[in-house]
Amino acid sequence: MRSRLIISALSVALCLSAGTMKSLAASSTDEVSFRYRISSVDMDTKLNPNGENLAKLDDLLSKEKISSVQRIELRASSSPEGPYFLNERYAHERAEHLMQLLSQRYPSLPASVWQVEEVAEDWNGVADYLRRSTEAYKNEALQIVRGNSPNRKELLQDLYAGEAWDDLYKYAFPWLRSVKLHIVYGEVRPQQDQQQEPQEPQEQVLQQQ
């Protein structure tokens, strides 16, 4: 008795090519940030969480991973207290000093990966802090910050007899004196196991007695 088993050539082709097709790993990103003391442009590893984040950066930019770094977006900022020209200088020098430090620490990192943004007064950071606040002055302070008035500092200092400004100075501003790194890695293409072209679909007929 003769039986006929028809196997779909599409399934055969998929099986044959399963180990040979290229797969693309989606590009990924990591973020690391460093804080700065007031009026300082040197990154202090003893200031929380700088030491921990520097160790994390050592892992993210290890010899095995550094070649896949596509770009590093660096955002250096200052908090709003003090004269604008000083805050502008602090933001610039924090960016320069940290890039110099990291270039020495990771010599194989090309200079072309850096994309730098300098923020003299991080009012967006102030607004983010206030949005999470539960204080009575929250809405009025937010209105002042979003109003983009040239005398925002004075208005905040007068709000609730100075309470709003004092709270910002203690709890928000220390986190706005910072440099944030956004690391973008390129796509990774795994090598083919074999250089075999997919077969054209066809039907194979297996006969057996």
- Residue ranges in the chain modelled with pLDDT below 50: 1-26, 189-196, 203-209
pTM: 0.75
Domain range summary for the chain, segments of one domain joined by +: 1-23+196-209, 24-189
Predicted pLDDT at 186 = 87
pLDDT at residue number 148: 86
Inter-residue contact 187 to 24 (CB < 8 Å): yes
Segment (H or E) for 70: strand 69-77
> Can you give the pLDDT at residue 204?
46
Instruction: Find residue 34's DSSP bridge partners.
Output: 179
Percent of residues in the chain assigned helix, strand, coil, to nearest 5: 45, 20, 35
Q: Each residue of 96-114: pLDDT tens digit?
A: 999 999 999 999 999 999 9
What fold characterizes domain 24-189? 60s Ribosomal Protein L30; Chain: A; (3.30.1330)
Which pLDDT value is given to residue 85? Answer: 97
C-beta separation of 165 from 156 below 8 A: yes
Q: What is the pLDDT of residue 50?
A: 97
